[in-house]
């Protein structure tokens, strides 16, 4: 039990994929202008990440390992992720067209969100079982979503601040992300895996 | 090697089938985004954007065929709203399509010059001009959107655009101008009773 | 029986969120000569036609006409859902002009006014007193109130007859608002001291006509004399069983209708609804006294008590001023300005209207003319950025986040205002007064509200435009279809006459024929289309 | 008679506010004095030198940034916000830390955390805490050189005013002293190490740096900070919500563990009176700019600070977590504000 808890704490806080491992920065900067969009992205990513890390585990253990094809893992993981993203995109297009519109290009870009592939590969590296893999994916997505939503709220506030012209927009966003990362350094040493 | 090819092909096939099913299952009809966009557009139907009306322009934006900065009547505020809705960056109004007017305008027909040709009536997209052949025409000011489409067809140039007047009924408070320095306080203080 | 919101009204006092304790400065004006003195006749009266909420009244007099005191000068418009109120002549004399003149309005724009030159005789029009108000029914009362041009005298100037019309039998409690919570103003207090009987009698009239069970006169804690006078008057009228005087603690803006209801009943009036939804009718004490005058004596609303006060006035006091009197005349009557005068305000220091000059007329809404000095209005610090201290949040009686609203309005993000409930703002000025950064918050809110209203209007107009555009498109399409159908019918008729074999020859012949027909019919067709477009 | 002046001035209200930003900040400065005095008494004149240095750097940087940004310099310098940032930072670093620590800290605080965001009132993160975390992560060695408080045997060796000056500017101790001789682990360091080595609390607390309920000296300093903080609450400069939420949450969160096993879990008072918790609760977390505005938001903010501080103290790698906790909650403050809006009059929730 405590092992699963540790996975969660580690992925959400101590080894946060965005602020500590610096993975998935593209959607982190791209979809954080509005809180609503960020929440949508967080949910979509959670969905994709959990499913893809579980299914890539299945593909790995049942297909790649028995046939001794582990050298194809990156390739097949990308395939799995691409499918998951497509699926999410279709479902979202149906259920929430506006969110689909707001997420825009970043929705298909979940495919290239390095956090997603990173999670799948790390699962293999850490020899996680199915549940652990899914949890690892879910934890990573939760950590990603948490900081993404908080970052979006911060950016909404900063957008109305009197930021010097040269720092407006992405520049001050990156400075903010840096300071957030600084704050997350406080969790170092927490839940060492 | 063969195994690898077979396995990956198999995998791709299964996923392809799953996606194909999903595409049918989650098919959507219509374009709900176009409705949202149209709700923001000012409905002047002026066609300055290059599309024959607000709805076609909305559909063009929804299909990503047109930029969001082609609507002069909507102006900066309209672009801002569109950018917010669509998660795009705010861009300045396209100078090719026209400029934003400071005040909304309505058309007025100089009735002593009008020859009653009905050409403006055919041009008006919202039926805001009243009149019949060989009779004087007049503009229903409350219905006029200020699109200026009636001006070019008029053979005697009897239509003018006049800005709407600000009076007590439609006046509202302006944006406060901040007093940021101590000397400015002194200035307002020094401005003695006349 | 279900509990009504008014059942325990006045038994315990409740709190409203926020509010301010302010130095009240009332002693300046309200200990002065009582009863308040009447202003002598001015040389000219300028009576704005639009002194109330709703549409401007329709002028019923003409230039050069002789009018008597109390004669109606304009009547409420007949159209629309916001009819206005009557306006009457404050004295007898000649109408010298009906033109646009400056009025007390934040815009500084001109508005239609009737200018009256008094003849000095001050002759009344024939009045219609009523011997016994108990014989009046609901409609007659409302009709008399309307004919007297009575509007809410607390400052909202909502036509009273319209307020009463919506009332009917739904209310069981009448709250008389004598809580003059803004500093400096003391005209209601003076009225309560000077003519408590008028207030009680007015309340009894409303009680009788609308079958009201309970009347609460709310006054502020320190108004001892008023309490005494009112109690005495209540016993004179034998109204002790239904009229009660309640003292509420001094806290600005407790005199706001909705805040007062919250204090007395513990209930909030739901957003977008009126106090009637709780079974409550709130009237200002001065309005009720005016209703009494209108019903019993038939006197229309042509004058009101005005507090002339502030450190910028030599002899602050309350005066009876006719509607239309230039403010300068009031100031002269009160000894003129002192040396430090810097700003003239109509109303209180927190919600009043800054005036551009003192030639503007007194209107029905003018409860106070306040002259402030440099020492009163000079800020010690220029505007600074908001530091999010939250003082404004804790004093806001409407439960808003003024600091957030301010940043949102500054960024012109007007769409977000609805979710931040800007419409609940009553512009009381509490947030402005406690702001350490000296941000003119209320100015921002007024700007935001104006923009919000303008956008709503634009939206409405664009909806209409879209509808008209769509209708036109449909009509054009229909016409096109009809024309096509006609065309094809004709084609079929032609095709039917010839056999299939020589169809080519027939087609050529047909084309030739049509050309001829077209050439012959040219002018005709044109006029036909023209008619079609016009219909 | 005409009264027309700037159109802007015509709107109500017509009474200017009595409070100013400068007045608020000045009261915060006053409230810090007892704590500063206590700290100087226990740790020597190094504290005062650090304060002077930081204030000097902060004010010069503020001046430069205001000039660059084209803002009225005199006005914004007289709001004292830079001075408060500098003092809070100086109180967090060891008294004999080299001078460039405050310079780097103040660059991080004034330039990066404050003026890149547009200056006063617009920063997202507490500048003093950004500064502290930057130097803590970048220069861990210099930041752990805490001195023994007055009353301990080692404290007799402490350098005087002149020697402290020399040490701060040269970075070297006077010849007769060495860092090993005079630096001392803080009570929180000892507690953390001790618990990790599975020692009993009573055993750990036998070390001389522990006082009656917190660290020796530290507990008195905390008392004086609390005194100033309570004065601020009484003056209504800060509201009670955040300090009370932080302290109450710390007690509530640590009480069960202590009741369950007092031998391996420190008494809740120990958590409150050691480290920067009291200073943080009254002076750092209450920074209005980077905190929450509504009452409920403030309570949540306080709870979050307490929870994160304890998490980092008990399971994390750093002995104290107040600075990190405040920064983390700064990051979540806009989100909390968004979801804790008060209910407007007459509107449903």
Q: Do C388 and D293 touch (CB under 8 A)?
A: yes
Please check whether residue C335 lies inside any domain of the structure: no
CATH number of the domain where residue B74 is located: 1.10.15.40
Q: Are D120 and C385 within 8 A, CB to CB?
A: yes
Tens-level pLDDT at each residue, chain C (535 residues): 467 777 777 778 888 888 888 888 887 777 766 677 888 899 999 999 887 777 777 888 889 999 999 998 888 866 555 567 888 999 999 999 999 998 888 887 888 899 999 998 888 888 888 888 888 888 888 888 888 888 888 877 888 888 887 766 678 889 999 888 889 998 898 999 888 999 999 999 988 888 888 899 999 888 888 888 889 999 988 888 888 899 999 898 888 889 999 999 888 888 888 888 888 889 999 999 999 999 888 899 999 999 999 998 998 999 999 999 999 999 999 998 988 888 889 998 999 888 888 889 999 889 999 998 888 888 778 888 899 888 899 899 998 999 999 999 988 888 888 888 899 999 999 999 999 998 989 999 999 999 998 888 888 888 888 888 888 888 889 999 999 999 998 888 887 665 555 666 666 777 777 777 666 655 444 444 444 444 3
Task: Tally Cβ neighbours within 10 Å of residue C349.
Answer: 25
C273 lies in some domain: yes
Residue C107, pLDDT score: 81
Instruction: Please give the share of chain A, as a percent, with pLDDT higher than 90.
Output: 20
DSSP 8-state secondary structure symbol assigned to residue A185: G
Q: Domain tally for chain B?
A: 2
Where exactly are the structural domains of chain A?
A: 2-185
Task: List for chain D the helix, strand, coil content (%; round to 5).
Answer: 65, 0, 35
Inter-chain CB proximity A101 and B87 less than 8 Å: yes
Q: Which residue of C has its CA nearest to B104?
A: C458
Q: How far apart, in whole angstroms, are the C-alpha atoms of residue A152 and residue A146? A: 10
CA A71 to chain centre: 24
pLDDT computed for residue B183 by the predictor: 53
B181/D75 touch (CB, cutoff 8 Å), yes or no: yes
Helix (H) or strand (E) holding C177: strand C173-178
The answer to whether D72 contacts chain B (CB < 8 Å) is yes
Q: What is the pLDDT of residue A105?
A: 65
User: Which of these, D311, D334, D246, D91, lies nearest to A186 by C-alpha position?
Assistant: D311
For chain B, percent of residues with pLDDT exceeding 90: 0
Q: How many angstroms separate the CA atoms of D227 and D233, rounded?
A: 10
What's the token pair of residue B13? 């096939």
Burial of C135 (0-12, 13-18, 19+ CB in 10 A): exposed
Q: Are residues C52 and C109 in the same domain?
A: yes
From D146, D116, D139, select the one nearest D47 (Cα to Cα). D146
Q: Which of B173, B181, B194 has its CB closest to that of D72?
A: B181
Strand partners, B63: none
Of the candidates D21, D337, D344, the beta carbon closest to that of C384 is on D21
Q: Do B15 and A79 touch (CB under 8 A)?
A: yes
Chain D interface includes A19 (CB < 8 A): no
ipTM of the complex in this document:
0.85
Contact D275, D322 (CB under 8 A): yes
Given C111, C382, C415, which is nearest B185 (Cβ)? C382
Give pLDDT, residue C525: 41
Length of chain D: 349
* C299 touches D: beta carbon within 8 Å: no
CB of D186 closer than 8 Å to CB of D215? yes
Cβ distance B32 to A98 less than 8 Å, yes or no, reads yes
The answer to whether C269 and C261 have CB atoms below 8 angstroms apart is yes
Q: How buried is residue C499: exposed, middle or buried, by Cβ count under 10 Å (0-12/13-18/19+)?
A: exposed
Full domain range(s) for residue C529: 500-535
- Min Cα distance B150 → chain C (Å) is 15
Q: Which chain D residue's Cα is nearest to C403?
A: D293
Cβ-defined contact of C407 to A159 (cutoff 8 Å) = no
- Phi and psi at C347, nearest 5°, equal 110, -165
Measured between CB atoms, which of D75, D293, D346 is closest to C271? D346
pLDDT at B188: 46
Residue of chain D with shortest Cα separation from B175 = D8
CA of B74: which chain C residue's CA is closest?
Answer: C458
Task: Give the pLDDT of residue C325.
Answer: 93
Neighbours of chain C (3+ CB pairs under 8 A): A, B, D
Q: Are residues B110 and B149 in the same domain?
A: yes
> For C437-475, b where at least 16 C-beta lie within 10 A, e where not — what string?
bbbbbbbbbbbbbbbbeeeeebeebbeebbebbeeeeee
Q: Which residue of C has its CA nearest to B130?
A: C534
Contacts of A162 in chain C (CB under 8 A): 385
Cα separation values, C71 from C52, C148, C192, C478, Å: 18, 10, 28, 58
C527 or B104, higher pLDDT: B104
Q: Which residue of A has its CA nearest to B19?
A: A87
Phi, psi of C524 (to 5 degrees): -60, -50
pLDDT at B179: 66
Contact C88, C321 (CB under 8 A): no
Cα-Cα-Cα-Cα torsion B30, B35, B41, B44, nearest 10 degrees, comes to 70
Hey, is D69 helix, strand or coil? helix
CB proximity D140 to A under 8 Å: no
Q: Is position C529 within any domain? A: yes
Nearest CA in chain B to D8: B176
Please indicate, yes or no, whether residues C91 and C206 belong to a single structural domain of this protein.
yes
| Contact present, A153 and A35 (Cβ < 8 Å) | yes
- Which is more confident, D24 or A92? D24
Kind and range of the H or E run holding C101: strand C93-102
Handedness of CA D124, D128, D131, D135 (dihedral sign): negative
DSSP state of D112: I
- Taking an 8 Å cut-off on Cβ atoms, the answer to whether B185 and C379 are in contact is yes
Whole-angstrom Cα distance, residue D53 to residue A92? Answer: 57
Q: How far apart are CA C525 and CA C518, in angstroms?
A: 9
The helix-helix angle for D322-339 and A130-159 (nearest 10°) equals 70
The answer for residues whose C-beta is within 8 angstroms of residue D201's C-beta and 6 or more apart is D194, D195, D262, D263, D264, D265, D266
Q: In chain B, which residues have their Cβ closer than 8 Å to the Cβ of C105?
A: 168
Q: Does the beta carbon of B6 lie under 8 angstroms from any beta carbon of chain A?
A: no
Nearest to D15 by CA among C378, C104, C391: C378
Q: Is D13 on the interface with B (CB under 8 A)?
A: no
- C408: closest chain A residue by CA: A160
- Neighbours of A, requiring at least 3 CB pairs below 8 Å, are B, C, D
Tokens found for residue A176: 């903010």
Q: Which string of DSSP letters, residue by residue, matches C151-162?
A: B-TTTT--BHHH
Taking alpha carbons only, the member of D13, B55, B31 closest to residue C379 is: D13
Q: What's the CA gap between A190 and B76, in Å, rounded?
A: 49
Q: Please tell me the predicted confidence (pLDDT) of residue B189.
A: 40
User: Tens of pLDDT along D80-120?
Assistant: 999 999 999 999 999 889 999 999 999 999 999 999 998 88
* C255 & C218 share domain: yes
Backbone angles phi and psi of A137, in degrees to 5: -65, -45
Residues, chain B: 194
In sequence order, what DSSP letters do the residues of C352-376 get, joined into one string?
Answer: -EE-SBTTSBP-TT--EEEEEEHHH
Cross-chain residue pair C440–D8, CB shorter than 8 Å: yes
User: How many cross-chain Cβ pairs, C to D, lie less than 8 Å apart?
Assistant: 173
DSSP A169: T
Segments in chain D below pLDDT 50: 5-8
pTM of the model: 0.86
3-state helix, strand, coil in chain A (%, to 5): 80, 0, 20
Those residues whose C-beta lies under 8 Å from the C-beta of residue A43, and which sit 6 or more positions away, are A145
- Which of these, C327, C330, C365, C325, lies nearest to C115 by C-alpha position? C325
Q: Which chain B residues are closer than 8 Å to D2 by Cβ?
A: 193-194
Which pLDDT belongs to residue C528?
A: 41
For residue C223 the two structure tokens come to 């108004």
65-124 in chain D: CB under 8 A from chain C: 72, 75-76, 79, 118-122
Q: Which residues of B touch C458 (CB under 8 A)?
A: 42
Alpha carbons within 13 A on the beta-carbon side of C150:
30
Domain ranges of chain D: 19-184, 186-339
Rounded to whole angstroms, the Cα distance separating C322 from C118 reads 12
Kindly list the residues from chain C whose CB atom is less than 8 angstroms away from the CB atom of residue D125: none
Structure-token pair, residue C315: 């002899």
My answer on whether B81 and B116 are in the same domain is no
Instruction: Give the Cα separation of D333 and A62 in Å (integer).
Output: 46
Per the domain annotation, does C396 fall within a domain?
yes
Tell me how far apart the alpha carbons of residues D306 and D313 are, in angstroms, rounded to a whole number: 10
Residue C443 contacts D where some CB pair is shorter than 8 Å? yes
Domain end among C284, C307, C322: C322
Six token digits for residue B76: 């900066």
CB contact under 8 A, B41 and C462: yes
| Subunit contact A87:B22, Cβ cutoff 8 A | yes
Range of the domain at B38: 33-86
Phi-psi category of residue D172: left, alpha or beta, with phi > 0 → left and psi -120 to 50 → alpha: beta
The 3-class secondary structure across C287-333, one letter per residue, is: HHHHHHHHHHHCCCCCEEEEEEECCCECCCEEEEEECCCEHHHHHHH
Q: What's the CATH code of the domain at B149?
A: 3.30.70.20
Q: Where are the beta strands (DSSP E) in chain B?
A: 105-109, 129-130, 138-139, 159-163
Angle separating helix axes D127-138 and D99-106, nearest 10 degrees: 130
3-state secondary structure of D168: helix
Asked if B92 is an interface residue toward chain D (Cβ–Cβ < 8 A), one would say no
Q: Cβ contact (<8 Å) for A160 and C385? A: no
Q: Please name the residue that has the structure tokens 């934040």.
A: C106
Chain C contacts in chain D segment 14-33 (CB below 8 A): 14-17, 19-24
C104: its two tokens: 């007390």
Interchain contact, D130 vs A179, CB within 8 Å: yes
**C contact residues 176-205, partner D, Cβ 8 Å cutoff:** 183
Does the residue B135 lie in any domain? yes
Distance, CA of D145 to chain centre:
18
């Amino acid at each position: 039990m405590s092992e699963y808890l540790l996975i969660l704490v580690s992925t959400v806080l101590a080894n946060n994929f965005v602020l500590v491992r610096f993975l998935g920065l593209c959607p982190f900067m791209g979809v954080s202008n509005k809180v609503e969009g960020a929440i949508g992205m967080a949910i979509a990513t959670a969905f994709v990440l959990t499913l893809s890390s579980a299914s890539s585990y299945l593909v790995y253990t049942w297909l790649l390992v028995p046939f001794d094809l582990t050298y194809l893992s990156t390739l097949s993981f990308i395939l799995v992720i691409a499918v998951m993203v497509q699926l999410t995109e279709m479902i979202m297009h149906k259920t929430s067209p506006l969110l689909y519109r707001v997420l825009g290009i970043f929705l298909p870009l979940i495919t290239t969100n390095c956090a997603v592939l990173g999670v799948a590969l790390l699962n293999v590296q850490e020899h996680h079982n199915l549940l652990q893999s899914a949890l690892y994916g879910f934890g990573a997505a939760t950590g990603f979503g948490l900081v993404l939503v908080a970052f979006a709220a911060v950016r909404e506030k900063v957008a109305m601040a009197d930021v010097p012209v040269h720092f407006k927009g992405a520049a001050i966003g990156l400075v903010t992300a840096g300071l957030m990362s600084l704050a997350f350094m406080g969790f170092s040493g927490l839940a060492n895996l | 090697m063969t195994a690898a090819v077979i396995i990956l092909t198999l995998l791709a096939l299964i996923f392809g089938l799953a996606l194909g099913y999903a595409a049918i299952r989650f098919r959507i009809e219509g374009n709900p985004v176009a409705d949202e966009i149209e709700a923001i557009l000012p409905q002047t139907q002026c066609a300055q954007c290059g599309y024959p009306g607000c709805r076609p322009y909305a559909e063009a934006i929804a299909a990503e065929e047109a930029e969001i900065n082609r609507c002069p009547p909507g102006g900066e505020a309209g672009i801002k709203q569109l950018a917010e809705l669509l998660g795009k960056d705010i861009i300045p109004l396209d100078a090719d399509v026209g400029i934003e007017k400071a005040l909304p305008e309505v058309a007025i027909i100089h009735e002593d010059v009008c020859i009653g040709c009905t050409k403006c009536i055919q041009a008006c997209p919202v039926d805001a001009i009243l009149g019949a052949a060989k009779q004087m025409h007049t503009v229903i000011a409350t219905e006029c959107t200020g699109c200026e489409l009636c001006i070019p067809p008029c053979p005697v140039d009897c239509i003018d655009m006049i800005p709407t007047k600000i009076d007590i009924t439609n006046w509202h408070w302006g944006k406060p101008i901040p007093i940021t320095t101590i000397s400015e306080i002194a200035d307002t203080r020094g401005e003695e009773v006349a | 029986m279900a509990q009504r919101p008014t059942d325990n009204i006045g038994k315990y006092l409740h709190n409203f969120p926020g509010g301010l304790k302010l130095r009240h400065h009332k002693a300046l004006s309200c200990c002065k000569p009582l009863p308040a003195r009447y202003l002598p006749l001015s040389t000219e009266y300028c009576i704005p036609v639009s002194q109330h909420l709703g549409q401007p009244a329709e002028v019923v007099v003409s230039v050069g006409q002789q009018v008597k005191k109390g004669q109606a000068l304009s009547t409420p418009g007949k159209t629309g859902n916001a009819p206005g109120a009557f306006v009457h002549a404050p004295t007898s004399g000649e109408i010298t002009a009906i033109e646009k003149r400056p009025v007390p309005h934040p815009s500084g724009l001109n508005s239609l006014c009737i200018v009256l030159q008094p003849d000095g005789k001050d002759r009344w029009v024939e009045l219609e007193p009523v011997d016994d108000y108990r014989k009046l029914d609901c409609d007659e009362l409302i009709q008399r109130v309307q004919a007297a041009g009575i509007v809410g005298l607390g400052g909202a100037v909502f036509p009273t007859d319209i307020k009463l019309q919506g009332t009917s039998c739904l209310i069981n409690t009448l709250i008389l608002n004598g809580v003059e919570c803004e500093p400096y103003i003391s005209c209601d207090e003076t009225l309560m001291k000077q003519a408590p009987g008028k207030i009680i009698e007015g309340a009894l009239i409303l009680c009788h006509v609308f079958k009201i069970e309970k009347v609460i006169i709310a006054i502020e804690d320190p108004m001892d004399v008023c309490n005494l006078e009112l109690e005495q008057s209540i016993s004179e009228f034998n109204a002790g069983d239904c009229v009660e005087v309640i003292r509420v603690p001094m806290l600005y803006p407790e005199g706001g209708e909705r805040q007062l209801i919250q204090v007395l009943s513990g209930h909030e009036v739901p957003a977008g609804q009126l106090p009637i939804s709780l079974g409550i009718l709130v009237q200002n004490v001065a309005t009720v006294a005016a209703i009494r005058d209108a019903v019993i004596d038939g006197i229309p609303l042509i004058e009101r008590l005005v507090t002339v006060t502030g450190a910028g006035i030599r002899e602050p006091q309350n005066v009876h001023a006719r509607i239309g009197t230039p403010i300068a005349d009031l100031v002269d009557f009160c000894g003129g300005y002192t040396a430090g005068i810097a700003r003239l305000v109509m109303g209180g220091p927190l919600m009043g209207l800054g005036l551009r000059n003192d030639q503007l007329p007194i209107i029905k809404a003018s409860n106070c003319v306040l002259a402030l000095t440099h020492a009163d209005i000079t800020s010690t610090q220029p505007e600074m950025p908001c530091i999010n201290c939250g003082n404004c949040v804790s004093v806001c009686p409407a439960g808003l986040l003024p600091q957030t609203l301010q940043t949102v309005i500054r960024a012109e993000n007007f769409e977000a205002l609805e979710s931040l409930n800007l419409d609940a703002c009553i512009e009381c000025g509490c947030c402005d007064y406690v702001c350490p950064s000296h941000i003119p918050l209320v100015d921002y809110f007024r700007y935001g509200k104006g923009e919000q209203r303008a956008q709503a209007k634009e939206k409405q107009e664009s909806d209409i435009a879209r509808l008209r555009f769509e209708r036109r498109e449909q009509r054009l399409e229909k016409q096109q279809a009809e024309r096509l159908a006609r065309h094809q019918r004709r084609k079929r008729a032609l095709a039917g006459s010839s056999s299939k074999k020589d169809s080519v020859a027939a087609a050529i012949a047909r084309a030739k024929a049509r050309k001829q027909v077209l050439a012959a019919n040219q002018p005709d067709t044109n006029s036909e289309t023209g008619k079609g477009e016009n219909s | 008679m005409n009264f027309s002046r700037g159109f802007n001035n015509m709107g109500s209200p017509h009474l200017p506010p009595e409070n100013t930003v400068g007045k608020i900040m000045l009261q915060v400065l006053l409230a810090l004095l007892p704590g500063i005095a206590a700290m100087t008494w226990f740790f020597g004149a190094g504290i005062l030198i650090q304060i002077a240095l930081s204030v000097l750097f902060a004010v010069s940087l503020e001046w430069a940034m205001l000039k660059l940004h084209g803002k009225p310099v005199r006005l914004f310098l007289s709001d004292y916000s830079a001075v408060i940032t500098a003092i809070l930072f100086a109180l967090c670093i060891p008294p004999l830390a080299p001078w460039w620590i405050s310079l780097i800290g103040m660059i991080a605080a004034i330039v990066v955390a404050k003026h890149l965001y547009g200056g006063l009132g617009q920063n997202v993160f507490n500048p003093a805490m950004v500064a502290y975390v930057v130097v803590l992560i970048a220069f861990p060695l210099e930041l752990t050189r805490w001195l023994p408080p007055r009353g301990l045997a080692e404290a007799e060796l402490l350098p005087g005013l002149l020697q402290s000056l020399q040490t701060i500017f040269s970075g070297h101790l006077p010849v007769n002293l060495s860092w090993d001789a005079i630096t001392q682990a803080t009570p929180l360091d000892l507690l953390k190490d001790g618990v990790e080595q599975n020692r009993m609390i009573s055993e750990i607390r036998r070390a001389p740096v522990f006082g009656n309920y917190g660290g020796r000296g530290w507990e008195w300093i905390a008392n004086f900070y609390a005194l100033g903080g309570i004065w601020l609450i009484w003056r209504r400069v800060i509201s009670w919500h955040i300090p009370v939420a932080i302290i109450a949450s710390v007690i509530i969160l640590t009480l069960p563990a202590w009741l369950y096993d007092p031998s391996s879990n420190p008494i809740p008072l120990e958590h409150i009176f050691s480290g920067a918790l009291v200073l943080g609760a009254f002076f750092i977390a209450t920074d209005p700019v980077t905190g929450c505005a509504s009452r409920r938001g403030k309570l949540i903010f306080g709870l979050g600070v307490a929870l994160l501080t304890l998490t980092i103290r008990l399971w994390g790698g750093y002995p104290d977590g107040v600075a990190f906790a405040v920064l983390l909650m700064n990051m979540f403050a806009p989100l909390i504000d968004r979801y804790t809006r008060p209910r407007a009059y007459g509107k449903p929730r």
